[in-house]
Amino acid sequence: MSAPANAWGIDEAAAVLHADAIVWDQHGCLPLRPDEDSVDQLELYRSAGVDAVSINIGFDVTSPLDTFKVTAAFRRGILARPERFLLASTAADVREAKRSGRLAVTFDLEGTEPLDGELALLSPRAPRSATIVALEKGETLSVHELDFGRLRTERPETADVLIAILAAQVRRLSMHLAEALYVPADTRVRRRLLEMTEIYGEGEEVTVPLTQEELASLAGTSRATVNRVLREEEEFGTLRLSRGRSTVTDAAGLRRRAFP
């Protein structure tokens, strides 16, 4: 018998069928936390003869921020294990993974809460009020207005989801407006930097790969203000500065000044 037939306890005909087919699990789950080492659990799929799996990265009770954190961690974990896993974006990637004995991995979402751009779907003829800028290499998926309208017609409960999303959006925008009006720019810089540490990793030290211009845009202030605040924090010993990035070494100390 062939090696696959022996390994899985199947007959030769089934082994031949498996060799010619793509075995794909359309929806698998890992713990929804930003832990890149959790992708090691995907080895169960590979050792069982699965060629490709789509892993859930968020659902209706998952905020966009949490979804970004989980996605970033899973991507790092998969890219750090190229001998076993391949982050797939095309059918050719899946075939290459099978040919090389690796597991092709893609991502999927349940529901719409982890998404952004919902206002464009609800008022498509109105001018866009915001722009999303990718800070790292990524992939954008879109939903056409007509498809979304059909979903709302066929599934009226979608309205409940949209109300929850928009309510969360209003709360977030209200908080940022209050900050812009009443919170000093120095404090806003520290708060945005703390938020970025939550996105880019966990642990005693977290590197935020954003330029001072990008932090200034997030905080609604000038680059000069960001530079001054970061220099102050470096003197306090809460971070290290290098070209195009800041490494936070004492998040607790930074938080004390961000939320005095």
Q: Note the pLDDT tens digit of each residue in 43-69.
A: 999 988 889 999 988 876 677 777 878
Strand pairing of 103-109 and 239-242? unpaired
Q: Give the Cβ contact number of residue 117 at 10 Å.
A: 12
Please, what are the averages of pLDDT over each run of 10 residues along the chain (260 residues)?
57 75 88 90 90 86 76 90 92 90 89 58 62 68 77 80 76 82 92 89 84 89 93 95 92 92
Both tokens assigned to 97: 């993974």
User: Is residue 29 within 8 Å of residue 55, measured between CB atoms?
Assistant: yes
Could you tell me which residues are beta bridge partners of residue 110? none
Domains of the chain, by residue range, sit at 3-109, 118-181, 183-258
DSSP letters along 215-239, please? HHHHHTS-HHHHHHHHHHHHHHTSE
Q: What are phi and psi of 25, to 5 degrees?
A: -100, 115
Length of the chain: 260
197: left (phi over 0), alpha (psi -120 to 50) or beta: alpha
The pLDDT score that the predictor gives to residue 2 is 47
The pLDDT score that the predictor gives to residue 59 is 77
Nearest to 189 by CA among 225, 242, 236, 213: 225
Beta strands in the chain, from DSSP E residues, in sequence order: 24-28, 52-58, 85-87, 103-109, 206-208, 239-242, 245-248
The pLDDT score that the predictor gives to residue 48 is 84
The pLDDT score that the predictor gives to residue 133 is 67
254: left (phi over 0), alpha (psi -120 to 50) or beta: alpha
Nearest to 138 by CA among 192, 83, 82, 76: 76
The pLDDT score that the predictor gives to residue 1 is 46
Domain 183-258 part of CATH 3.30.565.10: no
